[in-house]
């Protein structure tokens, strides 16, 4: 990356000092380390989510997965503080020592630490959550919010570099990992409406019900989950396509990371569903390559929003049908759900880019 308005003072090869009033810009290696360390404590959270869902005798705060989680945070926080210290050594003071895009992460570090202490006290005096209540715990919500601010740092760095429009996969890797882990965390806290954790058998069964019944039961759960999960999966892609031309493989990587969380939460019983999402990710990468959606190409952008959503859920049902060897008995549900998702994807594209940028 070239030196522009903001100097890359945090890279050893540069060693320059930014002019007064100019903040440094983190280099590629710094962002890559940031997102890899963020991956460490994200995996810790995935392990903790698995434990809360699958270890009924869980009764203590001091667990191996909490150790992974909080040690990952400590490593990430130490790294970000080290970046600030290097900039301080180069003569930058106050806010000028914080690289572009790192401000929210610096703010989030003490918030996360305080939420961690609060979580310990919460578990000590109130107890360990093992159901839907885990998703509404105030300390958990504070932890997840601060995590998102930390994890999206590489995305903010690349976003702020106006010279980058069509990054290579290597150049885009920290940003797309940031998007992928953020989507995973958001989906984790929408676990009461997560369509990725359904097994293929559950998908078939949910949409096989007696027509005219007043209680739609599991069918309503799956329908609502598809709509919410679709938004969580498609919005990061639309956001990336609005600003960049994402390289081939971006959508596949996002799906792969999200499925790492999904399979852990489902205790690895939804592997066929996870495989379907990864296949859909490959097809979405083809759509990105062919359509080249952007805020300058509004028609293609909206087509992409609809098509990416439709493909995701069409593959979802095809995977379940192939795996189970039968179709859901209510045809309207499994044929109409991808269309409904496509309309939601189109709507989100219109909201994110209402008119072409001039």
pTM: 0.85
Helix, strand, or coil (residue 297): strand
Dihedral sign computed on CA atoms, order 145, 149, 155, 156: positive
d(CA 98, CA 81): 9
Nearest to 112 by CA among 31, 42, 201, 171: 42
Q: What is the DSSP letter of 18?
A: P
Q: Which residue has the higher pLDDT, 135 or 129?
A: 135
Average pLDDT value for the chain: 85
Q: What is the pLDDT of residue 89?
A: 85
Task: Please enumerate in sequence order all residues whose Cβ is within 8 A of that of 357, keeping only pairs 6 or more positions apart, or say none.
Answer: 295, 296
- Residue 12: band (very low, low, confident or very high) from pLDDT cuts 50, 70, 90: very low
Mean pLDDT of 298-303: 96
Alpha carbon distance 78, 101 (integer Å): 17
Q: Which residue has the higher pLDDT, 321 or 16?
A: 321
The helix-helix angle for 138-151 and 103-125 (nearest 10°) equals: 160
Rounded to an integer, what is the distance from CA 164 to the centroid of its chain?
22
Asked if pLDDT for residue 128 goes beyond 50, the answer is yes
């Amino acid at each position: 990356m070239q030196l522009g308005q903001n100097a890359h003072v945090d890279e050893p090869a540069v060693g320059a000092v930014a002019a007064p009033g100019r903040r440094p810009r983190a280099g590629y290696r710094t962002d890559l380390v940031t997102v890899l360390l963020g991956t460490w404590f994200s995996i810790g959270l995935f392990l903790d989510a698995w434990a809360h869902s699958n270890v009924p005798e869980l009764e203590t705060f001091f667990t191996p997965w909490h150790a992974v989680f909080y040690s990952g945070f400590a490593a990430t926080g130490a790294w970000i503080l080290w970046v600030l210290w290097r900039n301080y050594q180069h003569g930058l003071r106050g806010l000028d020592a914080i690289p572009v895009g790192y401000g929210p992460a610096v703010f989030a570090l003490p918030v996360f630490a305080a939420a961690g202490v609060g979580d310990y006290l919460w578990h000590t005096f109130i107890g360990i959550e093992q159901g839907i209540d885990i998703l509404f715990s105030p300390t958990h919500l504070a932890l997840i919010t601060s995590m998102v601010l930390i994890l999206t740092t590489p995305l903010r760095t690349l976003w702020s570099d106006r010279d980058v429009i069509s990054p290579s996969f290597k150049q885009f890797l920290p940003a797309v990992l940031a998007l992928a882990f953020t989507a995973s965390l958001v989906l984790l806290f929408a676990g009461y409406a997560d369509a990725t954790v359904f097994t293929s058998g559950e998908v078939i069964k949910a949409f096989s019900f007696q027509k005219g019944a007043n209680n739609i039961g599991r069918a309503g759960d799956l329908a609502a989950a598809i709509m919410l999960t679709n938004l969580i999966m498609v919005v990061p892609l639309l956001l990336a396509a609005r600003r960049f031309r994402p390289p081939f493989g971006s959508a596949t990587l996002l799906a792969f990371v999200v499925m790492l969380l999904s399979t852990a939460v489902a205790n690895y019983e939804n592997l066929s569903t996870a495989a379907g999402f990864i296949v859909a990710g490959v097809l979405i990468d083809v759509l990105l390559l062919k359509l080249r959606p952007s805020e300058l190409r509004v028609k293609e952008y909206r087509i992409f929003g609809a098509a990416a959503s439709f493909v995701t859920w069409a593959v979802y049902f095809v995977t379940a049908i192939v795996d189970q060897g039968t179709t859901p008995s209510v045809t309207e549900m499994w044929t109409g759900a991808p269309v409904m998702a496509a309309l939601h994807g189109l709507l989100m594209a219109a909201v994110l880019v209402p008119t072409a940028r001039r």
